[in-house]
Structure 1
Amino acid sequence: RFEYLLKQTEVFAHFIQPAAQKTPTSPLKMKPGRPRIKKDEKQNLLSLIVANERLLTDVKNGKLRDYQVRGLNWLISLYENGINGILADEMGLGKTLQTISLLGYMKHYRNIPGPHMVLVPKSTLYNWMNEFKRWVPSLRAVCLIGDRDERTAFVRDTLLPGEWDVCVTSYEMVIIERAVFKKFNWRYLVIDEAHRIKNEKSKLSEIVREFKTTNRLLLTGTPLQNNLHELWALLNFLLPDVFNSSEIYNLQLTNLLMLQVLRPFLLRRIKADVEKSLLPKKEIKMYIGLSKMQREWYTKILMKDIDILNSAGKMDKMRLLNVLMQLRKCCNHPYLFDGAEPGPPYTTDLHLVVNSGKMAVLDKLLPKLKEQGSRVLIFSQMTRVLDILEDYCMWRNYGYCRLDGQTPHEERQISINAFNEPNSSKFLFMLSTRAGGLGINLATADVVIIYDSDWNPQVDLQAMDRAHRIGQKKQVRVFRFITENTVEERIVERAEMKLRLDSIVIQQGRLVDPNTSKLGKDEMLSIIRHGATHVFASKESEITDEDIDAILERGEKKVGPDPGK
């Protein structure tokens, strides 16, 4: 079965290779007079060439880079050879633009206006619509979102009459309106953040497989860290006739064989290789002590489950995870626990800062960044931390925007626009890590603060890339807050180890063993125990009066090589 697959990939590679060597058929590379075009097509083609010339030369609106032109030609070659593929460029390299250019090529050069579907996370719907209007306004893009009445009116008045080329919608809408979408014969089905369908048994994955489509394109900036079965799910979606059995992926495949299977279907470039104008981001880890109140709460949490620490109690996985979560909350701010904040009456005052080590450092760092003319993104996984940060911003009179998973669809874009507009009064943008990591462009900020780190290092990298992307003119600085001698130190260590492993694996064309990414009971216990003795040793605050420059200097000395490189 595997030999058969390899023969298939050789066939696909054979098709693609000559296509790249022939006289290119992309309008971007066309020579005058070739190929012959009917009179009624000339105007359409001319408008596309003019549009693309503008993309290549107009500095104000950004320009189509060389590697993006190559990406577009690669996508066209897939289309010409009847192959579906994965555009896996690193985050921030313009997968959206390359996709829109492909759909523009389909309409103006192939005379195939649609219908196309672009399936995206809810947080990026407006961004996609704006990009369509900006780059190829002749593509009639419509957006399906809203409550039941709005959707019913949209389907009746817009979708079914068919006066459009591209329908942009979210994962949730596709599940709700599946019956409507199944009525169409889709030309291109594009799925953004395609790792959402890595489980072929998920509801979304099953539904998109039911749609009638001619071509399929997956977009994902997340490097291939999937186990073999998850990879098979993506390939099965792209080419169900070839990858119709997951049994062969139970084999342990060698690096070279795995690379041969993937090569024809996947294009991946990384920023360091292709985007020379973008300065590399600089990450500084800021090691922070616990406040007196944090030490008391940290001790209280550990004492409540002291039998676990002494290996006397039953090591239930859910119980261990709960202890870990409580300790992480304590590292962020003790006010996340009921009864910790003094009151009633509840007032926003200096106690908000002095009772949390991270807030104390933040209160020293932000004035320095503001003085330097920087603008800041703050990411936290906990929306209640964002609530505390909001109180802090109002108290210190910092202009801010906020975005989390509960932010209504319309408000998301209003906040993003308010932050990005020239001479904006918004100094800070606070986001929940997972809600703010997908396709959102906040390159007007040049400082990223990771208030608490995610177990999955890719999530934090995605968050940083909201600022570190095309259009960024300054060097992006990332400040990662880590509470010393607590579970946070071990969580960051584990994430970095995973990132190093992933990068080695990707470079060699292998895939991560799924067992290496699972968090076992013994490892959880080890993380919980880390620093416990240190916390028990004293009840005094570890927050120092040290100047912010000294804290930064200490962080720079401790920082090692960037594991993401």
Structure 2
Amino acid sequence: MCSIFHFTSTVNGAGKVEKMRLQNILMQLRKCCNHPYLFDGAEPGPPYTTDEHLVYNCGKLTILDKLLPKLREQGSRVLIFSQMTRMLDILEDYCLWRQYKYCRLDGQTPHEDRNRQIEEYNMEGSEKFVFMLSTRAGGLGINLTSADVVIIYDSDWNPQMDLQAMDRAHRIGQTKQVRVFRLITDNTVEEKIVERAEVKLRLDKLVIQSGRLVDTKNQLNKDEMLNMIRHGANHVFSSKDSEITDEDIDTILAKGEVKTEELKQKLESLGESSLRAFSMDTPGATTDSVYQFEGEDYREKQKVIPIGSWIEPPKRERKANYAVDAYFREALRVSEPKAPKVQAPRPPKQPIVQDFQFFPPRLFELLDQEIYHYRKTLGYKVPRNPELGPDAAKIQREEQRKIDDAEALTEEEIQEKEQLLTQGFTNWTKRDFNQFIKANEKYGRDDIENIAKDVEGKTPEEVMEYSAVFWERCHELQDIDRIMGQIERGEAKIQRRASIKKALDAKMARYRAPFHQLRILYGTNKGKNYVEEEDRFLVCMLHKLGFDKENVYEELRAAVHAAPQFRFDWFLKSRTAVELQRRCNTLITLIERENQELEEKERAEKKKKSGNANQNTPGGNATGKGTNAGKRKADGALDSAQKHKKKKK
């Protein structure tokens, strides 16, 4: 029902086919079954359009296009699972074209967007009809009980992954019967994938869950891969017309039920030995030998595949010398060694001046003048390179002009230079500077007291003096962008810690006895591992120990071990400090969201009260009654009109 991926090859006489190439071919065949637009260049365009060609070029999407309207009429809501995120992109275009409201979740979805979409989908009266997910993305927090239809667009090698995907709708709170549809393209590699998954499930039931162990490796070998790739090849090469039909969806579903029943009966007929070998091609019990089939003995000969019905996977040919080709000869051509770059001469015994020592700018002018005059005495000429462009040539000419016009330093300028060399931070080394930058990143630029403690060998007065000059002249440093980025990232972390501490303080202030009364608004993100008593203890103890303290999670772990109420709680006591930190971060996010909702509610109430107060003030109501001042103004206008009338008479 889908476009088929064609490839050419050469026959591998030795029969040694690399496993990696076969896995790649299997993946290409799976992409053929999902949608031909997964291959670059298959989609017509540019310009690229989203219309009916998205559907009629793919058999699975044709079935889906017939199934979704019927499910929508029945009032159902749908989950669609796929292995490939690019397939989810195509399904997004399809939903936009059909105007289906949808949500999407995969491994790249941020945590906040994931929670928001789950809440929107589970909201009562939600307009979201489709929720598309990648099969292996998710976790314990995904609860989609508002859906009652699960569509497995393509099956996973591991059947447990598909079962876990179905369980997204089979959560506690599901009130409807959940139906599962699995889309499988006929006569393709997908049939073999589903068969192998069913064999794994049956083997798990017969052997593993019975208490016996299995030594059979679950990984595919080369022969099994070849059999899967060859499956349906004769049918594909013999078919010429499209097999996408216009049958009614009920007829298609009926055929799927028949196929499922056939697969079930075939599995029932297999014994444990066949399941251990992960093969559904084992002959029946009536056959005398596994090499006997339809009266022919295959023990000593290999089955010959008719010419034209199958092409062996390609063998990669390696060339001993790539230089025989003109392209590689040009690419690998060794150029002549470049001449070493000549450094411009500098005067001997010149003082070493670092930019972080912040010498006066006048010193650099005198040092440059000394360097230029020294080059002039040597007759140094700036090398010209016309390939660098006009801007570089202009810079080179300016450099040469400075050398030609340079004069020797006078006695006064030499004394001035010696005096300026003492005015910088000469006792500050590169190590001191790095310690100063790291301390600014750790404590923030305003906490001079703690910064001075981290700079070894410097007094607080020296650090304060250096800090004032640094923030005034930091633009003179060569790598100032990197340094400022490092400091700003540290300050952002400090600000984040302060906001978390503020959120915890606000949460604790609402309870008289937080260790007993504190409640956490989980929403749909409670999870299954931690209970509320454990979360309450973690939050309260984290606030008590101090969130911004170093090694706080190690202390929190020790407090958990020492707490008498958790002496038999193996789960919580076995958590590492990193796992406790991860759980605390989740709880802090919930607390911040709760605080934000309370603040918005308070602002709304204040706004409502202020609006009512404005309506109740004199002259501010809607009855049209004026204030006393307005009344006096009207009376004065009436008196002036009467006086004017008498005067006129």
Structure 2 length-normalised TM: 0.40
Structure (1 or 2) with the larger CA radius of gyration: 2
Greater RCO (Cα-Cα under 8 Å, separation 6 or more)? 1
TM-score by length of 1: 0.45
Q: Return the structure number with greater strand share.
A: 1
